Amino acid sequence: MRTSPTMPRLKGFRFPREIISYAVWAYHQFALSTADVEDLLAERGVVVSRETIRLWINRFGPHFANCIRRDRPTPADKWHLDEVAVPINGVKHWLWRAVDADGAVLDIFVQRQRNAKAARRFLKRLVTQFGHPRVVITDKLRSYFKPVHDFAPGADHRAHKGLNNLIEGSHRPTRRREKIMGRFKSPRQAQRFLAAHDQISIIFRPRRYRLSTISYRHARADAFGLWDDYAAEMTPDCEKSPLLQSTSNNLAMPSRPLRAASLLMRCADISRYACSSSLTWMVRGLGLSVMLIFPDPCHALGRGAFSRVLIVQASSTNPSWLAAPSGVPARSGASAP
């Protein structure tokens, strides 16, 4: 990952934001400890202690997670809910997690109880952030029934163990990091780390088995571009700042919504549409109409590639901008209308 060296310095910090953002990215992207990140930076000539890296992760990890929440489209209205035991200092706690139909983590919440009161508290957080779901899938825990009926009265509640396999797989990265960290030291530490780690994984860990090689490389390039934009927004007090407001409908700043929309579409299985001349998508939550213009089937980029992304604001009849993804040549003769 190469962050632009022209970013302004971060006030109050000895190291530039390129190094800080790289340390946060490496810690969350790979199963590394702070000592491992310290060795990676030392190999590149940056001498910094593991304690400083830990402070960077605690301060700026939530910033990147908030930026991803701000720019992501509205999640699907089909939710999967589950809870898993997490021992903290010899006391059993419960990690409540919710994912949508696409496997993206909506929210996590660490609590001491596994009862109806804890389920109500978690569902209230979800409904406040994302609205009412259409379908709620849980296991057979009876504590879900009354809270789902109260907070999502019109939702189809399906309580079945076999239907919840999608969320069971999302617990595996948590178990892997828990083992590397020697278990979580406090509920606050677990909540802070997992809330950031799950959101960062959304853009850097797409379902690669569903993507062609060229589509995966495009998704990875867009993820790095988003990370550079979020690194440029870092401030010394970003840990204390509230959740960033959405700017996806601001036509004066098209770069982040464009990259976020194209990244999420590339994470879908679009290779089967490679022989089509064009395909129009509506991106939920962004209010944008996206037309994917594919090249000929014999194009040098291969199946699943597209040459240009045309984004038109749904509320306007005039196209907003025409842009080509990084690393993809524009189709000859194509121009903005």
Phi and psi, residue 240, nearest 5°: -90, -10
The pLDDT value given to residue 4: 58
pLDDT the model gives residue 180: 85
Q: Supply the pLDDT for residue 227.
A: 94
The encoded tokens of residue 118 equal 């804890």
- The reported pLDDT for the residue numbered 39 is 96
Architecture of domain 78-187: 2-Layer Sandwich (3.30)
Cβ proximity of 191 and 110 under 8 Å: yes
pLDDT at 8: 76
> What was the pLDDT predicted at 331?
38
For residue 214, what pLDDT is reported?
A: 92
Residue 3: its pLDDT value, please?
A: 58
pLDDT < 50 positions in the chain: 241-255, 258, 261-262, 265-337
Cα–Cα distance between 184 and 190 in angstroms, integer?
Answer: 6
Contact 296, 302 (CB under 8 A): no
Residue boundaries of the structural domains of the chain: 78-187, 245-323
Question: E strands of the chain, at which residues?
Answer: 78-88, 91-100, 105-111, 135-138, 156-159, 278-283, 288-293, 308-313, 321-323
Sign of torsion, CA 138 143 145 147? negative
